[in-house]
Amino acid sequence: MRSALVPVLLLCAALTTVGVGVFTLLERNREEQTRQFAVERQAQLDEATRGVAETLEDVAEDLRFAGELMSQPGTVAEHRRELRALLEAVGQYKVIIVYDARGQEWLRMVDRRMGKQVARAPVLAQMTDAARRALARPPGDVTTSPPVEDGGSDGLRVMATAMPLDGSGRPGGAVAVLVDTTSFFMPLRIVTSDPDARLLLLGAYGQPTSASDVTLVDWFRRMELEGSLVPGFRELIARMREGERGAFPLRAGEAERLGLGRSEAIAVFTPIRVRGGSHWSAATLVSTATLRSHQQALIWRLLAAALLVALFLVTFAVYVVLAQRRAAALRESRQHAEQLAHLHDKTQKILDHIPSGVLALTAEGHISAVNQVLRARMPADAIHAPLESAFPQAPGPVVARLRALVAAAASESRAHSVLGETLVLFGEEGRFNLHAVPLEARHPEVQTLLVVEDLSNVRALETQLLRAEKLATVGVLAAGIAHEIGTPLGVVRGRAEYVLGKLGREHPQGPGIAVIIEQIDRVSRTLRQLLDFSRLQPTAVRPVPLDAILRDVHELLRVEVERRQVRFQVEVPASLPPLAADADQLQQVLVNLALNACHACEAGGQVTLSAAAPEGPGAEPWGLVSLAIRDDGCGIPREHLNQVFDPFFTTKKRGQGTGLGLTMVAHVVRNHGGRLELESEEGRGTCVTVLWPSAKPGTEERYVG
């Protein structure tokens, strides 16, 4: 009997040992899962607060920028226009007020959509208080107010900063803005969208905002009297006010009082820094009920399995052990196979849909796989072929460089890149980023990845965007130019008319003074055209004989040509038809192009202005007359060919060119239905060809666009 009990006792001891081991393992696993749960929640909160901090930093940057604008000289109307642009650009800004160095209101802008209900006495008082506190702090530091009492929303707050220091070393004033911060904290609401999570958001003054959970706000108010019931919550508030970051657990009883259910909770908190030293603080309190339910389910499953194993151990111990091991091995193998198949399919889909080309190379340098982007641009038989087969149209030096890049990445076991290079990979020149990424050497079929990023479209879009931005600034500059230049020109013209009236047109100096008046009128017309550059404006077009225009151009440039010692030659056939043009604008185009050609030549250089009639039968009434301005000067560098007609682009020294001449030329030619062609070789010279419509019967109008 005793001998029969020995195996039973040994089996019970073994089962007890196994149970203790399983319990210990589960306990450790529970702690690890809790820790990992806290880490994941901390990462989510950090990511959300990072977005909030960036938004608050944008407000601080806008305040700093507004302060710098207001500190610049200018009229009240100009400053008001600048503030109006800022107010309309950012929908969260409701009121912007500029204060002088004594804290007195100087300029106020109110959002039209809000109306006067925002700019009430309590709101203005809080804005004034924030501005005066900002004057006591260094420029750039942001002073934040408590929630605005009369704003109708807990999200309205005042943010202010001091302007740059004036000559006396004191701030020249302050800028305050009433901001609706409600949308700023939307990322935090997304983090706490889980029903087991609660959000607590403390403002810059340590008080909860309306974004916080109602139950947590209620306990915050009761904390002075009943704080002993929620010691963890009280510690959380203290650490949030100190600007700390971290996480710690809350007991089940305290979690239940805080509305998180009868389970332990994790409190995760992090600060949101504001420029100048102040901070907000956000915390998420998350119940571990779901985590605990998973753990309990796992425990019950393990207990059931243990009882089943014990039953089978008593009867069929060896058989059950072998069967369990075999089944576990089969399950694991199947899971691994499914995971590998899923990962392979997912990886292939990701590679096929990314915009960059990806090419996989074997240890021998042969192509083992490509994604969809490269597959559409390379030969179909390039798979399993050497690297150069993927780029049959690339020159030998380019292929050699690709091989060197791949070899360097494989030998040094780190990624190598070539950024923004101009290469010929697919038959035409383009800009590319190339990345050679080494993989694990134990997989010879995919040892290195070559990533090809085609930047041609990106560069083109960047160029178009930059050109559009420059064109947008022309309208702003035109008003200032018209005022600053037009007024002195009017004075000069009046004096010239006075002198001409005194001397008479028969006086030897009379023709010269008449030329002065005529050219002042032409400059005035040019200023008006520049002022209307960005608006739709009608232009009168009439038949204009080219020979008269060219005589005027030759006379206007005579002094400049002699001063630069350049030969200026005009070659125009007598049978040239009249052009459909505005005479002043056509003259402006030719003068600008010829003057640029003279400036590009050294002493002794040659500038030729030639014209040719439309070719082909019946082409004369509707064809394009070719006007060519050719020089043998320094030429234009290749990298600048696409920029010469951009606004404000110039290669001249500072103060010698505005960069608007060729922009106006392109604008005028395009407005008249013509086009420009540019050929240049550095060191050999430049030829600009203007294709201008010949005159048609009658008079027409074209629109500047």
Q: What is the domain range of residue 596?
A: 538-703
- What per-residue confidence (pLDDT) applies to 283? 92
Q: By mean pLDDT, which of 22-36, 365-379, 622-636 is the weakest?
A: 22-36
280 and 373 both lie in a single domain: no
- Between CA 518 and CA 513 the distance in angstroms is 9
pLDDT range class, residue 691, cuts 50, 70, 90: very high
pTM higher than 0.85, yes or no? no
Final residue belonging to a domain, choices 409, 437, 454: 454
371 and 280 both lie in a single domain: no
Q: What are phi and psi of 643, to 5 degrees?
A: -115, -10
Element (H, E) at 444: none
Tally of structural domains, the chain: 3
pLDDT range class, residue 294, cuts 50, 70, 90: confident
Question: What average pLDDT does the structure give for the chain?
Answer: 79
251 and 371 both lie in a single domain: no
- What per-residue confidence (pLDDT) applies to 703? 38
Measured CA distances, 315 to 5, 246, 381, 409 (Å): 15, 53, 64, 61
Q: By mean pLDDT, which of 23-37, 57-71, 588-602 is the weakest?
A: 23-37
- Strands, E, within 120-196: which ranges? 143-144, 156-162, 173-180
- What per-residue confidence (pLDDT) applies to 379? 83
Tell me the pLDDT tens digit for each residue of 500-553. 888 887 888 888 888 888 888 877 766 765 665 545 455 678 888 888 888 888
SS3 249: strand
420 and 279 both lie in a single domain: no
Residue 624 lies in a domain: yes
What CATH code is carried by the domain that includes residue 563? 3.30.565.10
Q: What is the mean pLDDT of residues 114-135?
A: 76
- What per-residue confidence (pLDDT) applies to 418? 82
- Residue 1, pLDDT above cutoff 50: no
What CATH code is carried by the domain that includes residue 262? 3.30.450
Residue given tokens 């508030």 in the structure block: 237
Residue 90 lies in a domain: no
Tell me the pLDDT tens digit for each residue of 655-669. 455 566 777 788 888
CA quadruple 485, 487, 491, 497: dihedral positive or negative? positive
Sort strands 606-612 and 567-571 into parallel, antiparallel or unpaired.
parallel
Please give the single-letter amino acid code of residue 82.
E
Cβ–Cβ under 8 Å, residues 97 and 69: no
Residue 679 lies in a domain: yes
Residue 665 lies in a domain: yes
217 and 360 both lie in a single domain: no
Residue 406 lies in a domain: yes
- Between CA 511 and CA 591 the distance in angstroms is 21
Q: What are phi and psi of 406, to 5 degrees?
A: -65, -40
Final residue belonging to a domain, choices 268, 287, 306: 287
423 and 552 both lie in a single domain: no
428 and 555 both lie in a single domain: no
Mutual angle of helices 583-600 and 661-671, in 10-degree steps: 140
278 and 410 both lie in a single domain: no
- Cβ neighbourhood burial of 600 (10 Å; 0-12, 13-18, 19+): buried
pLDDT range class, residue 700, cuts 50, 70, 90: very low
Element (H, E) at 646: none
Q: Which two tokens stand for residue 536?
A: 């739709």
- What per-residue confidence (pLDDT) applies to 705? 39
Residue 503 lies in a domain: no
- Between CA 510 and CA 246 the distance in angstroms is 87
Residue 142 lies in a domain: no
695 and 552 both lie in a single domain: yes
Final residue belonging to a domain, choices 287, 311, 339: 287
Mutual angle of helices 2-71 and 76-89, in 10-degree steps: 160
268 and 410 both lie in a single domain: no
Measured CA distances, 13 to 5, 17, 225, 309 (Å): 12, 6, 54, 15
- What per-residue confidence (pLDDT) applies to 73? 84
- Between CA 537 and CA 532 the distance in angstroms is 7
405 and 271 both lie in a single domain: no
- What per-residue confidence (pLDDT) applies to 686? 92
553 and 416 both lie in a single domain: no
SS3 258: coil
Residue 519 lies in a domain: no
Tell me the pLDDT tens digit for each residue of 587-630. 888 988 888 888 888 888 899 999 887 765 444 445 788 999 99
**Structure letter (DSSP) for residue 389:** G
- Alpha carbon 378 to its chain's center: 33
DSSP 348-365: HHHHHHSSSEEEEE-TTS
Closest C-alpha among 305, 314, 265 to residue 289:
265
What CATH code is carried by the domain that includes residue 378? 3.30.450.20
Closest C-alpha among 147, 93, 89, 151 to residue 119:
151
